[in-house]
Chains A and B, each alone.
Chain A
Amino acid sequence: MTTFALTLGPTWYWYLTRGTGIVALLLLTAIMVLGILGPLRVSSPRWPRFAVETLHRDLSLLAILVIIAHVLTTVLDGYAPISVINAIVPFDSTYRTLWLGLGTVAFDLMLALVITSLLRRRIGHGTWRFIHWLAYASWPIAVLHGIGTGSDAAAWWSVALTAICVLAVAGAGTIRVGRAIGLAGGWRTTAVIATIAIPVAAAVFTIVGPLAPRWASRAGTPQDLMSGSDK
């Protein structure tokens, strides 16, 4: 199956996997921003609070479907040794183990977020809220996954898109953290610095990582999948 795929060249699945990955990035970014706007109590006459909240929830369900498609197309593509298990169990694949694994971790977290949200009444608000903070971990991990494994990570449009998404979430996140009344002064300063420092670090990583030569082999692509024209 792998040999057959190789001789045929890039399959439709490969394009779909990249496409769904990018769509997922955009959706997840929108979900994060909407989720942050909620506690910030942002609304307008055309966009009442319940609309912002409902859109946040609906996009989350859509994102899960898109990511499932992303996973299936990757598995069906067959180019890389990635199975369905790798979608749930992280760091088990030999293909760019770390960067793929991050995607798995992000997806696992998202499943936790969505499932606990669907079961909100059963588990109570306190428990739900505690688990929902994991969103702030899930999104950056997903973005790192994209930068690390994305076939288009080095393309100018991909870099621009990712940068916009990161700025959007970092910006909203900084405002949110700055207004968080539950955080003591020292913690708040730390969190604000983090929301600024982490995107900067991600940018630096992108420049020395995917945008620099020989990233594919540095990222852990198995030797037998590397062709001469690879970066």
Chain B
Amino acid sequence: MSPPAGLPRLLAGVGRGMESRAAHERRHGPLPTLSTTGLIEVVEHSGLRGRGGADFPTAAKLRAVAARRKVSAVVVNGSETEPASSKDVTLLKHVPHLVLDGAMLCAHAVDAEAVFVRMSEGQAVRNVETAIAERPAGELPIALVVGPDRYVAGEESAVVHQLESGVAKPTLTPPRPYEKGYRNRPTLIQNVETLAQIGLIARYGPAWYRQLGTDEDPGTALLTVSGAVVNPGVYEMSFGTPLHALIDAVGGPREPLQAVLVGGYFGNWLSIEDAWHTRLARESLREHGASLGAGVLIALPARVSGLAESARIASYLADQSAGQCGPCIYGLRAIADAMQELADGSAAPGTVEQIRRWCGEVDGRGACHHPNGAVRFVLSSLRLFAAGEPASRRRRQYA
């Protein structure tokens, strides 16, 4: 039970039956017992941040929920509704016990009454069912909930809404789930990868966690790399790695690239020139207005139209609206249709300004962050692919 040296960590032992609890405990040892302060301290010293997309410091979130009484549940958010992401389902399929260990550690720390695993339909569901059956008798019972993989369904308030009523649509916040969630009581919702990292940190300690990565961005992250690369898939990488090294590690480009989408459908395009010198680190990404988000990297080849691809994603995001708020329903559709006109070449003059204006109108006017993320993506697409000002000058406006 020695700490993984180097990579892989989360995916250590995958391919050798790590799905079973026996193999898992042979590799990593039994689940340690930590007090509330004990767990929060090791997580804080590790510098772990949430891996669901919000990138919120995990220790702060744990502390906020642990401070509240009558916490109703810990929810493992494995909905992974981002189409270009499969890291969470990979963890649930191959190392479910590591994830469930993290959930149990958190449940103990916040004194939760129940543990839920929220997943979308797929092969991994069977693996998780088996893993749940293998958990020791004394543990809190775990309930598996399978829900829709519509884009907004993975949002925290939508997860709670689904647990309570079966409707996976976001609700109005505040209050956020950590204050009033499941059954109107504090609820801790954590991404699958975050919990898996906690499962390792609790065993091997924050110093081990920080052996990889950088001081500002310690540890590792799971990335789903797709697009025009030789070996698309889920990879674990150290923070701080330059993006060009990441692309090389997955076999390199299949053909000449023009841009990389970082973060997922709510993320930002980086031109390939910018991407080459960007590192997998918050500051470096932020210089280009980007963030890691759900750990998605999509390599866009030079031969396809960036506008066409962006219009397709914008249309998808418009369709994925929960349909609850007018500006999201109508605004995102108007924006997507105009993007399609730009891609077709049938756009009237002033369309780019019109899209920018609509983005300003729609941003922040929904109950959840769906319109905000869509707007962010569209603006970054315009910056890079819409004819007009050179991309580098535009970039500075969005720092």
Direct contact of A and B (CB under 8 A): no
Residues of chain B having any CB pair with chain A under 8 Å: none
